[in-house]
């Protein structure tokens, strides 16, 4: 198939899923055209059958807000015509599915179907905003195929937007040959990792507060990978609690698969997580997650078996679970093995990518 993919190419779960999906599809013999404003972070441009088409948004004195969605639609239509695309797959509803709808109207060689994948905050935060509600609902309804990443997201989209079209759940996936355990790398001091874009929804101050409690029992260090709006507040809290030396802010990391296997636990205290890709990546590396019981996380973690889930904001409980994992070797090995097994059995690329291929075929036939 000839597939066009549009996503937010910067750091963030939806961009990572879109990029890795494109790379895997290309490995399986499809032509994949990324249509984005920058090169997606995990995109290796040397991969055969992968093409990158930049969307340029020119500035003009009249434009207070450069019309990116319009430029994107124009570029999508141009690439679709020129490369005879079979399908467009857009990740994150706003504005990508609106642009795809426009591109569909502009494409003349044949009807260009488009698939929209909803990743979470495109529905729960952006789409729920009054300024975007109607256009989000419209663009989802006009999509030729809709997928999302957890049962929770399917329910939420149906209920909130009143969508009656079928929504297919295709979970996040992980490449189990790249994300794998390395028990030797875990020697030395106990290490906890948090990875995110440090947006308020991630509640990164809870990581700092939990570490403060954990350190009353275990000599542990916290690695904070990523960057974003709450970083300053987290640094200030670490100083206030006297644990600044015990936390390393690593900044944005391109190769988390090298970092995660060195850790003993992942802490993901999010307010809401449509799935929790980073928890899956940790599980594939045999690093048990301590996450919150929210959104689509229960699709991934079996509580007490391959990770822990506690209530949002219950820092005592989350710290307690981290302490258990860092002090009880037998529990840690059991959970690490179960986490890896779960990733391999249910969420490896080999299992999930064919679901997208089948979905595209169905959508193309329907068009």
Nearer residue to ligand GMT within complex by CB, 34 or 221 = 34
Nearer residue to ligand GMT within complex by CB, 34 or 92 = 92
Q: For helices 151-161 and 130-142, what crossing angle results, to 10°?
A: 110
The size of the interface with ligand GMT (CB under 6 A), counted in residues, is 20
Sign for the CA dihedral angle at 62, 135, 139, 277 comes to positive
Q: Minimum CB separation from ligand GMT for residue 39, in Å?
A: 17
Name residues contacting ligand GMT, limited to 136-155 (CB under 6 A).
Answer: 149
Binding mask 243-262 for ligand GMT (x = CB under 6 A): --------------------
- DSSP annotation of 262 reads G
Nearer residue to ligand GMT within complex by CB, 277 or 282 = 277
Q: Which two tokens stand for residue 179?
A: 């994300």
DSSP string covering 169-229? E----B-TTTS---GGGG-SSEEEEEEE---GGG-HHHHHHHHHHHTTTS-EEEEEEE--T
Binding mask 174-203 for ligand GMT (x = CB under 6 A): -----------------------x-x-x--
Q: Which residues of 306-321 are buried (b: 16+ CB within 10 A; e: fewer)?
A: bbbbbebebbebbbbb
Interface residue with ligand GMT among 9, 22, 40, 120 (CB under 6 A) is 120
Nearer residue to ligand GMT within complex by CB, 16 or 214 = 16
Interface residue with ligand GMT among 12, 127, 261, 320 (CB under 6 A) is 12
Q: Minimum CB separation from ligand GMT for residue 112, in Å?
A: 24
User: From CA 12, how far away is CA 108, in angstroms rounded?
Assistant: 34
Name residues contacting ligand GMT, limited to 73-102 (CB under 6 A).
Answer: 92
Q: Could you tell me the maximum CA-CA distance found in the chain, to the nearest angstrom?
A: 67
Binding mask 274-313 for ligand GMT (x = CB under 6 A): xxxx------------------------------------
Q: Which residues of 106-140 are buried (b: 16+ CB within 10 A; e: fewer)?
A: ebeeeebbbbbbbbbbbbbebbeeeebeebbbebb
Q: Which residues bind ligand GMT (CB under 6 A)?
A: 12-15, 17, 92, 119-121, 149, 172, 197, 199, 201, 272-277
């Amino acid at each position: 198939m000839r597939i066009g993919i549009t996503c937010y190419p910067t750091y963030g779960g939806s961009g990572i899923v879109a990029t890795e999906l494109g790379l895997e599809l290309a490995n399986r013999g499809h032509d994949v055209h990324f249509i984005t404003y920058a090169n997606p972070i995990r995109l290796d441009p040397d991969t055969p059958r992968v093409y990158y088409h930049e969307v340029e948004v020119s500035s003009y004195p009249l434009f207070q807000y450069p019309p990116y969605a319009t430029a994107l639609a124009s570029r999508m239509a141009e690439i679709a015509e020129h490369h005879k695309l079979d399908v467009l797959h857009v990740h994150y509803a706003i504005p990508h599915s609106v642009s795809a709808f426009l591109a569909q109207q502009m494409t003349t060689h044949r009807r260009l179907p488009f698939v929209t994948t909803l990743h979470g905050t495109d529905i729960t935060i952006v789409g729920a905003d009054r300024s975007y509600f109607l256009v989000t609902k419209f663009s989802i309804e006009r999509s030729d195929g809709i997928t999302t990443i957890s049962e929770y997201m399917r329910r939420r989209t149906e209920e909130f937007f009143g969508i009656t079209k079928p929504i297919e759940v295709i979970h996040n996936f992980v490449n189990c040959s790249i994300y794998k355990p390395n028990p030797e790398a875990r020697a030395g001091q106990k290490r906890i990792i948090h990875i995110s874009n440090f947006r308020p929804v991630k509640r990164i101050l809870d990581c700092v507060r939990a570490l403060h409690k954990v350190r009353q029992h275990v000599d542990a260090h916290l690695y904070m990978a990523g960057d974003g709006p709450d970083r300053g507040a987290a640094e200030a809290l670490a100083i206030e609690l006297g644990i600044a030396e015990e936390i390393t802010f690593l900044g944005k990391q391109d190769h988390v698969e090298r970092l995660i296997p060195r850790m003993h636990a992942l802490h993901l205290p999010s307010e809401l997580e449509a799935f929790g890709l980073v928890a899956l990546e940790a599980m594939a590396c045999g690093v048990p997650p301590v996450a919150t019981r929210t959104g689509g996380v229960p699709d991934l973690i079996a509580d007490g078996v391959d990770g822990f889930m506690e209530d949002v904001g219950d820092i005592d409980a989350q710290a307690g679970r981290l302490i258990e994992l860092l002090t009880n070797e037998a529990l840690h090995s059991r959970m690490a093995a179960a986490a890896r097994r779960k990733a391999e059995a249910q969420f490896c690329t080999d299992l999930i990518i064919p679901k997208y291929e089948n979905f595209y075929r169905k959508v193309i036939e329907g068009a």
